[in-house]
Amino acid sequence: MKWVSKLLESQLFQKWYPPIGALIITIIVVNIFGFCSSFTNFNKLLDGAIMFSSIILGFLGVLLGILFTLRDLKLIKVIFEHTKKKTLLNYFRAALISGISIVVISCFLYIRAEINDFIISGVKLDLVNYITDLWVFLVFYFGLTSQRIVSIMMDIIFKEKKSGVEQPQTKKLSQGEVNKLEENLKQNKENSENH
């Protein structure tokens, strides 16, 4: 079982499990279960995918913004010590691009009845089914890439104490300091009510 944990922590596994996992799941869903865009309630599935990807994209955007604004803190330095900056950036980029792609392709699939088949060299290509297959792949790829970046960030944050990052020390206030703060608060409240 030790080899399993080493595999899960390896850079090679971290890099390749989202695309390979999404491809395997897509093949199973499309070929074995026969998933296609003509299913009833397919539009509700599109709605759910757009909502899910929008929520996750918002979360990733906030997470990226927090990392950007706090880049000089010791915690962020620990993050960059445990992962290469470019690797972390590529993991964020993969999740963001695949999430945006889900939204765009979902919009195209809403009008799937209007999309005509292409005929290339006498071969009719069912464009809607190819777009649907791509959409299924992207849904699973987005889920796996999002899980990867959140998992990496959680691992780094929870390993913080072990990595030697000093935790901020909190000071317990004496009763006199508490009373002084309460007086200042009352004065500020009275001053703001008088104005």
> Of 127, 134, 125, which Cα lies nearest the Cα of 105?
134
- Res 54 pLDDT > 90: yes
- Please give the DSSP secondary-structure letter assigned to residue 134: H
Instruction: Return the pLDDT at 48.
Output: 93
- Please give the DSSP secondary-structure letter assigned to residue 165: P
Q: Which amino acid makes up residue 69? A: T
What residue has token string 């020390």? 169
List the structure tokens of 191.
């001053």
- Res 47 pLDDT > 60: yes
Instruction: Return the pLDDT at 177.
Output: 78
Instruction: Return the pLDDT at 171.
Output: 67
Decide: pTM greater than 0.75: no
pLDDT band at residue 145, thresholds of 50, 70 and 90?
Answer: very high
Instruction: Return the pLDDT at 8.
Output: 55
pLDDT band at residue 61, thresholds of 50, 70 and 90?
Answer: confident
8 A C-beta contact, residue 98 and residue 138: yes
> In terms of C-beta density within 10 A (0-12 exposed, 13-18 middle, 19 or more buried), how is residue 85 classed?
exposed
Instruction: Return the pLDDT at 7.
Output: 52
Could you give the residue ranges of the DSSP H alpha helices within 10-126? 11-27, 42-69, 74-82, 85-110
- Please give the DSSP secondary-structure letter assigned to residue 33: S
d(CA 120, CA 117): 10
> Of 82, 90, 101, 98, which Cα lies nearest the Cα of 64?
90
d(CA 135, CA 168): 46
- Please give the DSSP secondary-structure letter assigned to residue 28: I
List the structure tokens of 9.
């922590």
